[in-house]
């Protein structure tokens, strides 16, 4: 068994923390002695002990008085460079330096830390595998570190003629249950779910995560729900506002109107008074916060505003086989005319069938 094998093991451990470590990263760790795994763990919840510490602690529990000699001469595999700065917990490099590891093998560099140099200066052999699986684990985190703004995805369910808004009130869904279940995973990956007042007022949505398997984990926290509204004429009785979880109204006003009873954990993000309020200003403000991933689930207007300003990194389309009636609206309401399905602007990074629908992911070039 080689480095690729053990780092893949660490990746599968990291994935156990998926959905539960936002806005933090997913990290897995294995400790290997004489080609045998003696400790393994992952980052389980935001603010909790890091994967490396959990793995070392597992060795301590397993080997009791002998743990130190067990760790001596072992290789520690971590999917992400160990942290060197004190954050919500102590710096992992300080803990690692207590032991005589033969090699520290990492899957990907952490551009926000200095763990590799720190360990090398202390005499450790550090190997960076630059492993693709490890880079994919924390795509939004790396994006934020590089571009200083969150990774912004837009999900759109649409008909075969690319319309996303019914004109008749009769029907609520364009796509089938499997596609909607898939959207639940996108939501669970997001730090923020963002919509516009049009969607709140037309659909009265919940926009929370409801998949039992995901929400059953005690470490799962619902993503914050943000809504853009300049005039604040919102359907405040929508489950979007009533369900538990953080809610934020993005507006040019300073305060919210008097709200009906039963709405808690709601605040205002006040932007400059422009009509409509600027999606660019929003991204500038939100980039100052610890937010890596935003999922937009909005109608043509808000989507158009973000798209026109080139703020969307990834479009996730769920396309049904049906056509909608003539009066139904095209999914994109911006003033720029994009040919989304021509590969000059976007790369198709995924295309698959989900139930009766097609899923296509387009990523900005
Ligand atoms: N198929 C799908 O995936 C999907 C997803 C979501 C929604 N929808 C459909 O979309 C329809 C609503 O579409 P919509 O376009 O009216 O709603 P929207 O894009 O969700 O919301 C638009 C509203 O957001 C507010 N807003 C504030 N700043 C804005 C800005 N910079 N740019 C754009 N809007 C801004 C404006 O209202 P204020 O006056 O309050 O500022 C505006 O009228 C619904 O029928 C819903 O079913 C479909």
> Is residue 172 pLDDT above 90, yes or no?
no
For a ligand 1 pocket test, name from 155, 198, 308 the mutation site with the most ligand atoms within 8 angstroms of its C-beta: 198
Distance CA 40, CA 215 (A): 24
Q: What is the mean pLDDT of the chain?
A: 95
Q: What is the pLDDT of residue 248?
A: 98
Q: What is the pLDDT of residue 208?
A: 97
> Is residue 342 pLDDT above 90, yes or no?
no
Centre of ligand 1 from the C-alpha of residue 185, in Å? 22
pLDDT digits (tens, 9 = 90+) for 248-297: 999 999 999 999 998 999 999 999 988 899 999 999 999 999 999 999 99
> Is residue 35 pLDDT above 70, yes or no?
yes
Q: What is the pLDDT of residue 234?
A: 97
Q: What is the pLDDT of residue 226?
A: 98
Q: What is the pLDDT of residue 238?
A: 96
Contact call for residues 59 and 31 (beta carbons, < 8 A): yes
Is cis: bond before 276, omega within 30 of 0? yes
Q: What is the pLDDT of residue 116?
A: 97
**pLDDT (average), residues 44-72:** 96
Site residues for ligand 1, CB cut-off 6 Å: 156-158, 164-165, 174, 195-199, 202-203, 228-231, 276-277, 279, 297-302, 305, 333
Q: What is the pLDDT of residue 317?
A: 98
Q: What is the pLDDT of residue 308?
A: 96
Contact call for residues 297 and 194 (beta carbons, < 8 A): yes
Distance of CA 303 to the CA centre of its chain: 19
Tell me the HSE value of 259 on the side-chain side, using a 13 A CA sphere. Answer: 19
Distance of CA 64 to the CA centre of its chain: 38
In ligand 1, which atom is closest to the CA atom of 234? Answer: 40
In ligand 1, which atom is closest to the CA atom of 158? Answer: 1
Reported confidence tier of residue 197, pLDDT bands at 50, 70, 90: very high
Show Cβ contacts of residue 284 under 8 Å, excluding neighbours closer than 6 positions: none
Reported confidence tier of residue 1, pLDDT bands at 50, 70, 90: confident
Contact call for residues 32 and 75 (beta carbons, < 8 A): yes
Q: What is the pLDDT of residue 195?
A: 98
Distance CA 340, CA 296 (A): 17
Instruction: Report the nearest-CA residue for atom 17 of ligand 1.
Output: 198
Q: What is the pLDDT of residue 105?
A: 98
Q: What is the pLDDT of residue 344?
A: 85
> Is residue 343 pLDDT above 80, yes or no?
no
Contact call for residues 20 and 47 (beta carbons, < 8 A): no
Give all strands of the β-sheet with 125-128 in edge-to-edge order: 36-42, 28-33, 75-78, 103-106, 125-128
Question: Considering Cα of 301, then 307, then 313, then 316, what sign does the dihedral take?
Answer: positive
Is 314 part of the annotated catalytic residue set? Answer: no
Instruction: Report the nearest-CA residue for atom 11 of ligand 1.
Output: 299
Q: What is the pLDDT of residue 57?
A: 97
**pLDDT (average), residues 14-40:** 97
Reported confidence tier of residue 245, pLDDT bands at 50, 70, 90: very high
Q: Which H, E and C letters describe the chain, residue by residue?
A: CCHHHHHHHHHHHHHHHCCCCCCCCCCEEEEEECCEEEEEEECCCCCCCCHHHHHHHHHHHHHHHHHHHHHCCCEEEECCCCCCCCCCCCCHHHHHCCCCCCEEEECCCCCCCCHHHHHHHCCCEEEECCCHHHHHHCHHHHHHHHHCCCEEEEEEEECCCCEEECCCCCCCCCCCHHHHHHHHHHHHHCCEEEEEHHHHHHHCCCCCCCCHHHHCCCCCCCCEEEEECCCCCCCCCCHHHHCCCCEEEEECCCCCCCCCCCCCCEEEEECCCCCCCCHHHHHHHHCCCCCCEEEECCCHHHHHHHHHCCCCCEEEEEECCCCCCCCCEECCCCCCCCCCCCCCCEEEEEEEEECCEEEEEEEEC
What are φ and ψ of residue 271, in 5° steps?
-110, 175
Q: What is the pLDDT of residue 170?
A: 62
- Which of 110-124, 215-229, 315-329 is predicted with the least confidence, judged by mean pLDDT? 315-329
What are φ and ψ of residue 248, in 5° steps?
-135, 130
> Is residue 168 pLDDT above 90, yes or no?
no
Number of residues that make up the chain: 365
Neighbours of 85 (CB within 10 A): 13
Q: Which of 313, 339, 336, 316 is nearest to 140 (CA)?
A: 313
Centre of ligand 1 from the C-alpha of residue 232, in Å? 13
Centre of ligand 1 from the C-alpha of residue 228, in Å? 8
Distance CA 46, CA 100 (A): 28
Q: At what angle do helices 3-14 and 51-63 cross, to 10 degrees?
A: 100
Contact call for residues 245 and 226 (beta carbons, < 8 A): no
Q: What is the pLDDT of residue 206?
A: 96
Active-site entry in 52, 189, 297, 314: 52
- Which of 4-8, 196-200, 258-262, 295-299 is predicted with the least confidence, judged by mean pLDDT? 258-262
Instruction: Report the nearest-CA residue for atom 44 of ligand 1.
Output: 199
Centre of ligand 1 from the C-alpha of residue 234, in Å? 12
Q: What is the pLDDT of residue 169?
A: 66
């Amino acid at each position: 068994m080689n480095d690729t094998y053990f780092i893949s093991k660490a990746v599968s451990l990291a994935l156990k923390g998926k959905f539960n470590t936002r806005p933090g990263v997913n990290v897995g760790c294995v400790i290997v002695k004489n080609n045998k795994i003696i400790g393994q763990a992952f980052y389980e919840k935001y603010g909790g002990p890091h994967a490396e510490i959990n793995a070392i602690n597992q060795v301590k529990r397993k080997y009791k008085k002998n743990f130190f000699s067990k760790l001596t001469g072992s290789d520690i595999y971590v999917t992400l460079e160990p942290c060197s700065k004190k954050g919500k917990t102590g710096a992992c490099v300080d803990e690692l330096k207590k032991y005589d590891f033969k090699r520290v093998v990492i899957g990907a560099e952490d551009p926000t830390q200095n763990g590799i140099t720190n360990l090398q200066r202390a005499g450790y052999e550090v190997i960076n595998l630059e492993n693709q699986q490890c880079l994919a684990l924390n795509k939004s985190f790396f994006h934020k570190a590089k571009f200083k703004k969150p990774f912004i995805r837009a999900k759109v369910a649409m008909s075969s003629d690319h319309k996303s808004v019914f004109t008749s009130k009769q029907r609520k869904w364009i796509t089938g249950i499997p596609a909607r279940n898939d959207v639940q995973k996108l939501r669970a990956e997001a730090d923020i779910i963002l919509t516009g007042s049009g969607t709140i007022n037309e659909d009265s949505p919940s926009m929370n995560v409801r998949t039992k398997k995901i929400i059953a984990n005690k470490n799962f926290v619902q993503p914050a729900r943000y809504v853009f509204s300049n005039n604040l004429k919102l359907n405040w009785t929508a489950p979007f506002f009533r369900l538990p979880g953080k809610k934020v109204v993005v507006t040019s006003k300073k305060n919210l109107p008097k709200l009906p009873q039963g709405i808690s954990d709601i605040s205002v993000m006040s932007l400059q008074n422009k009509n409509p309020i600027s999606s660019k200003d929003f991204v500038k403000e939100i980039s100052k916060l610890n937010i890596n991933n935003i999922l937009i689930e909005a109608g043509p207007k808000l989507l158009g505003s973000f798209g026109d300003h080139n703020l969307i990194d990834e479009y996730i389309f769920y396309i049904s086989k049906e056509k909608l009636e003539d009066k139904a609206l095209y999914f994109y309401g911006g003033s720029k005319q994009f040919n989304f399905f021509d590969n000059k602007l976007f790369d198709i990074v995924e295309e698959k069938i989900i139930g009766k629908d097609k899923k296509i992911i387009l990523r900005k070039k």
